[in-house]
């Protein structure tokens, strides 16, 4: 009679670690007199042949206990019940006192595969968010030109994080904050009117068109500083218009709105191509009234001070910020930061967590923002900002103003071109028609671009280089190719394996793959907790590498034995499940053919 089968663990690696920890901890407390529960670090990649996991715990205990580390390790092993743990095959002491553990590979492989097949597309998903609402804001580029690769970094970091948070049960709303009333927009609106409100040419993306217009405007204004005042007047008029104080400014308001909407249209088109989605677009101009109220409140509280010239300023020295914050200019208009405070108050009311993805140049502004939120008793700790460093071009940092940038569209186009060349060179997919080949190349391009940007940790500056960014050998295509190879095996096997014995997966390459797959839930959790998409990108790469090695070294369809063949087919199938989940989180298209 079959027993009632228990659901397998969501996170087999954690089960393993917990078992080992408990066993060692118990051994320590029964052999030694230590007051606090001991931290037992577990190393999943010990540098020793035939060892799967290890712990240096005996080394760190040496001082407290006053014994040689090796001796401590031996005592721990004697006292512990590690040899009775099913997942452990052998535990021994090596080197200066490491406890090295070889796993019971058949047992562990069986556990891992059971989890993967049981949860399938949910494998890797731990309940970190418990359904709590979160607002994640990213991209939020000024609508005065096309998105360049710097914005791409923002969008991709934000998008991967959003996908990971949804996957780990956060109730996420992704927002794009449209900066529709900054000085840059005023410059563009001015130029737009000056040029007689030109239509966007048919053959041009609107953001590209207005980006060029903006660069021209910036140049003109630089050459004739008197125009600065004209632009300032535009800005004032628009803000008063929004507050119903100056209804005559309709023409100006309309110019603002046209340029913003057109540029935004272009942004969305690019983002869709890159598979980046937003749930909601929030406009800065919606917060003008709230901003005014907040300033009044801060003055009433006595926190902010109204100077003789009419400007309202806030002293933040108590927060370690020497620079005083201007909330209202002497002409009565509010500033970006003031409206940003209003926006954040609004977000905090609607969600348990607020996450922003911002360039490193916003660090001071965020410090100020958080200080003000604290003054307003609005819980700044619930606002978490992910900063990323800039992407530089060989000729300097990117600038919309100077018209010096590599757009995301160009980046994708170049990637696609190279993918097509590669396909031709490899003579791949020749039986498909032109359109299908284009589609594959486009998907390879998306994977290449997303991976190139995601793989670098956010706080590291990137020097952009075409050949390096589009190196298919260590990039998205490498990952996609692993998946494609696996799918190709499954297609040819053309059989549905039901029962199999994981004990046949104990050779080094198969087991390495099993072990890597078992790390997936943990990697997702790390990515969410540390807000570091690069962790997941790195993991995807390692998983792909483990598969490529397995593929080259271990025959599946031509396995020496029918039972071995079945087990390996299931391993390949499990790999496609895990890899598909990883790729979904990274937004890298999974392809049957490429």
Partner RNA sequence: GGGCCGGCAGCUCAGUCUGGACAGAGCGCGGGCCUUCGGAGCCCGUGGUCCCGGGUUCAAAUCCCGGCCGGCCCA
| Interacting positions 323-362 with RNA (CB under 7 A) | 323, 360-361
431 is a contact residue toward RNA (CB under 7 A): no
Residue with Cβ nearer RNA (194 or 474):
474
Which range, of 142-150, 214-222, 261-269, 554-562, touches RNA by CB under 7 A? 554-562
499 is a contact residue toward RNA (CB under 7 A): no
473 is a contact residue toward RNA (CB under 7 A): yes
- The sheet carrying 325-328 orders its strands as 304-306, 312-314, 325-328
Q: State which of positions 360-379 bind RNA (CB under 7 A).
A: 360-361, 363-364
Applying CB under 7 A, which of residues 428, 438, 466, 580 lies at the interface with RNA? 428
Nearest of 245, 227, 232 to residue 181 by alpha carbon: 232
423 is a contact residue toward RNA (CB under 7 A): yes
Minimum distance from residue 60 beta carbon to RNA (Å)? 4
Cα 206–chain centre separation? 28
Looking up tokens 């580029």 gives 141
Which range, of 14-22, 177-185, 233-241, 530-538, touches RNA by CB under 7 A? 530-538
Applying CB under 7 A, which of residues 234, 472, 500, 504 lies at the interface with RNA? 472
63 is a contact residue toward RNA (CB under 7 A): yes
**Distance (Å, whole) CA 124 – CA 246:** 56
Residue with Cβ nearer RNA (249 or 594):
594
In the chain, DSSP finds a helix count (H) and a strand count (E) of 20, 14
Minimum distance from residue 204 beta carbon to RNA (Å)? 29
Rounded to 5 degrees, φ, ψ at 281 are -105, 125
Element (H, E) at 388: strand 383-388
130 is a contact residue toward RNA (CB under 7 A): no
Q: State which of positions 303-322 bind RNA (CB under 7 A).
A: 322
Could you give the 3-state DSSP secondary structure of residue 89? strand
Looking up tokens 């230590």 gives 34
155 is a contact residue toward RNA (CB under 7 A): no
Minimum distance from residue 224 beta carbon to RNA (Å)? 24
Helix axes 520-530, 12-31, angle to 10 degrees: 90
- Tokens representing residue 34 in the block: 């230590």
Residue with Cβ nearer RNA (485 or 566):
485
10 is a contact residue toward RNA (CB under 7 A): no
Applying CB under 7 A, which of residues 94, 220, 286, 305 lies at the interface with RNA? 94
CA 16 vs CA 111, 226, 362, 594: distances in Å: 10, 70, 42, 37
40 contacts: CB under 8 Å, gap ≥ 6: 20, 21, 24, 25, 55, 57
Q: State which of positions 238-297 bind RNA (CB under 7 A).
A: none
477 is a contact residue toward RNA (CB under 7 A): yes
Residue with Cβ nearer RNA (264 or 544):
544
């Amino acid at each position: 009679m079959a027993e009632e089968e228990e659901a397998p663990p969501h996170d087999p690696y954690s089960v393993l670690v917990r078992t080992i920890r408990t066993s060692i901890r118990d051994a320590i407390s029964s052999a030694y007199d230590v007051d606090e529960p001991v931290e037992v670090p577990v190393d999943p990649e010990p540098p020793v042949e035939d060892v799967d996991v290890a712990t240096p715990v005996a080394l760190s205990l040496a001082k407290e206990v006053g014994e040689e580390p090796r001796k401590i390790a031996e005592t721990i092993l004697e006292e512990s019940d590690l040899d009775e743990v099913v997942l452990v095959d052998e535990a021994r002491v090596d080197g200066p006192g490491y406890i090295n553990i070889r796993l019971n590979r058949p047992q562990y492989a069986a556990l891992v595969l059971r989890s993967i097949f049981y949860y399938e597309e949910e494998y890797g998903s731990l309940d970190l968010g418990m359904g709590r609402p979160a607002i994640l804001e990213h991209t939020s580029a000024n609508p005065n030109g096309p998105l360049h690769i710097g914005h791409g970094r923002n969008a991709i970091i934000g998008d991967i994080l959003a996908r990971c948070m949804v996957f780990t049960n956060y109730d996420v709303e992704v927002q794009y904050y449209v900066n529709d009333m900054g000085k840059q927009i005023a410059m563009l609106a001015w130029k737009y009117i000056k040029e007689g409100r030109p239509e966007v040419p048919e053959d041009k993306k609107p953001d590209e068109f207005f980006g060029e217009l903006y660069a021209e405007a910036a140049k003109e204004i630089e050459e004739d500083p008197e125009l600065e005042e004209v632009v300032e007047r535009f800005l004032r008029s628009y803000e008063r218009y929004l507050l119903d104080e100056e209804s005559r400014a309709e023409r100006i308001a309309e110019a603002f709105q046209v340029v913003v909407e057109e540029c935004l249209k272009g942004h969305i088109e690019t983002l869709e191509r890159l598979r980046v989605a937003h749930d909601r677009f929030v406009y800065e101009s919606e917060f003008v009234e709230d901003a005014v109220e907040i300033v009044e409140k801060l003055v009433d509280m006595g926190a902010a001070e109204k100077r003789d010239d009419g400007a309202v300023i806030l002293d933040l020295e108590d927060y370690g910020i020497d620079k005083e914050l201007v909330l209202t200019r002497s002409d009565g208009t509010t500033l970006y930061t003031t409206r940003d405070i209003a926006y954040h108050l609004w977000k905090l009311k609607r969600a348990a967590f607020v996450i922003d993805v911002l360039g490193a140049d916003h660090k001071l502004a965020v410090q100020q923002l958080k200080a003000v939120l604290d003054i307003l008793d609005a819980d700044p700790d619930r606002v978490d900002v992910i900063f990323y460093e800039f992407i530089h071009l060989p000729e300097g940092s990117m600038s919309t103003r100077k018209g010096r940038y590599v757009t995301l569209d160009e980046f994708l186009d170049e990637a696609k071109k190279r993918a097509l060349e590669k396909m031709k060179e490899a003579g791949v997919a020749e039986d498909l028609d032109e359109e299908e080949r284009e589609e594959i190349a486009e998907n390879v391009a998306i994977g290449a671009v997303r991976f190139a940007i995601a793989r670098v940790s956010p706080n590291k500056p990137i020097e952009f280089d075409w050949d390096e960014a589009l190196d298919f050998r260590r990039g998205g295509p490498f990952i996609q190719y692993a998946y494609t190879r696996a799918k190709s095996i499954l297609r040819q096997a053309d059989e549905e394996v039901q029962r199999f014995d994981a004990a046949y997966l104990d050779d080094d390459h198969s087991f390495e793959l099993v072990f890597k797959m078992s790390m997936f839930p943990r990697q997702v959790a790390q990515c969410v907790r540390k807000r570091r998409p690069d962790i997941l990108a790195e993991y995807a790469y390692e998983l792909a590498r483990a598969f490529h090695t397995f593929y080259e070294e271990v025959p599946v369809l031509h396995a020496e034995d029918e039972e071995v063949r079945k087990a390996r087919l299931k391993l390949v199938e499990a790999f496609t499940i895990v890899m598909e989940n990883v790729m979904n989180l990274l937004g890298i298209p999974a392809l049957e053919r490429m």
